[in-house]
Amino acid sequence: MKSGDTEKIIFFANVAKQKEVYIMAGNYLQSLEWRNQSKVAEHIINFYTKAQALDLLASFYDSCSQIEIEECQDYEGGLKALIEAHNCLSECKTISGEQDEKKLQLQNKITFIKKLILAKSLLETNSQQAEQKLQALFEDPGLECTMHPAHVFTLLVQHHVSTQDYQMVAVSLQHIPFKCTLSQVETLYGGKFILCARSPKVIFSLSGIRIPDKVLSSCTVRPSLISTSPAKPLG
């Protein structure tokens, strides 16, 4: 492991066929930039699986889900990874109190993501019901344990903009949630944003579409369009 030669470490782990070596190799590979290297991720999953280190495998799948959700906005991919993580802990023959709590957290995340996916799909067919579901999700205190609130609220605003329902955009802007910060929305959506004069850190993406000035003037917060610098990862 000290050599830092990834190929040799993978080869050695496969030849050694020992649980401890599999785990050490998996842990080492996680210290690399595996997010953009699918083969490395596959090796991590393979090593933890061979070692029957289901708790470590569950944690890795959970990390994968966060990347899918927060960096890629791939909610279906995030859901799939969360289900894999939950299944891993469910297969553990013995489970500690900490693991049981983790399993419950994963189940809650799965429930939230399923609700978001459903609401998103309803935006095209039943926007009123979708808006109600998204608003309920946004107001749920457990949301921030699953994803940044900006995901939910920005879906609402973008939908109103895409349908050119600017009056609803104006209504939404008058109920700007302070949960959404600049860095969160910058990560989700690049380009043009609406900046709330009431709180410079609170913005919403409008996919570069300009809202008529007469609609903006009806907003008590009097937002204005600005350009932002390239998005930075959440930290």
State which H helix or E strand residue 183 sits in: helix 182-188
Q: What is the CATH number of the domain that holds 99?
A: 1.25.40
Do 105 and 36 sit in the same domain of this protein? yes
Residues 24 and 108 in one domain: yes
Q: Which domain holds residue 180?
A: 148-227
106 and 155 fall within a common domain: no
pLDDT of amino acid 221: 38
Q: What pTM was computed for the model?
A: 0.74
Domain-ending residue, one of 115, 132, 158: 115
Identify whether 171 is part of a domain.
Answer: yes
Asked if residue 235 belongs to a domain, the reply is no
Does residue 124 lie within any of the structural domains? no
In a domain? residue 131: no
Residues 82, 106: contact at Cβ < 8 Å?
Answer: yes
| pLDDT value at residue 45 | 96
**Ranges of H-type helices in 72-126:** 75-90, 97-122
- My answer on whether 215 and 170 are in the same domain is yes
Return the closest-CA partner of residue 200 out of 214, 185, 210.
185
pLDDT at residue 94 in the model = 78
Q: Is 51 helix (H, G, I), strand (E, B) or coil?
A: coil
Domain membership of residue 28 (yes or no) is yes
The answer on 100 and 11 residing in a single domain is yes
In a domain, 212, yes or no: yes
Same-domain status, 92 and 51: yes
Q: By the 8 A CB rule, do 154 and 205 touch?
A: yes
User: Do 110 and 11 fall within a single domain?
Assistant: yes
Q: Are residues 31 and 105 in the same domain?
A: yes
Q: Note whether 179 and 84 are same-domain residues.
A: no
Give the span between the Cα atoms of 179 and 10, in whole angstroms.
43
Note whether 29 and 101 are same-domain residues.
yes
Decide if 133 is inside a domain: no
Residue 132 domain flag: no
Are 34 and 108 members of one domain? yes
Backbone angles phi, psi at 195, to 5 degrees: -105, 125
At which of 115, 137, 161 does a domain end? Answer: 115
pLDDT in tens, the chain (235 residues): 555 688 999 999 999 999 999 999 999 999 988 888 889 999 999 999 999 999 999 999 999 999 998 888 899 999 999 999 999 999 987 778 888 899 999 999 999 999 999 999 998 888 889 888 988 888 888 887 888 777 787 787 777 777 777 677 666 655 554 455 544 444 444 434 444 433 333 334 333 444 455 544 544 433 333 333 333 333 3
Widest distance between CA atoms in the chain? 70
**Residue ending a domain, choose from 71, 98, 115:** 115
The reply to whether 157 and 111 lie within a common domain is: no
Q: What's the domain count of the chain?
A: 2
Q: What is the pLDDT of residue 170?
A: 64
